Amino acid sequence: MAKLYSEKKVKKMYPKKETVNFLLNYSRALRISTYKNIQFENILN
Partner 1 sequence: MEKTEANDAFLVKSYIEGNEQSLSILINRHQHRIYSFIFSKVFDKDVAEDIFQDTFIKVIRTLKRGKYNEEGKFLPWVMRIAHNLVIDHFRKNKRMPKFENSGDFNIFSVLCDSGLNAEKQIIKDQIEADVKELIKELPEDQLEVLVMRIYKDMSFKEISERTGVSINTALGRMRYALINLRKVIEKHNLVLTN
> Which member of 27, 36, 37, 38 binds partner 1 (CB under 8 A)?
27
Report how far apart, in Å, the C-alpha atoms of 27 and of each of 1, 3, 30 are.
Answer: 48, 47, 5
Q: How far is the CB of 20 from partner 1 (least distance, A)?
A: 6
Distance (Å, whole) CA 24 – CA 12: 22
Distance (Å, whole) CA 9 – CA 35: 54
Q: How far is the CB of 41 from partner 1 (least distance, A)?
A: 7
Binding positions for partner 1, 1-20, rule CB under 8 A: 12-16, 19-20
Residues that bind partner 1 (CB under 8 A): 12-16, 19-20, 22-24, 26-28, 30-32, 39, 41
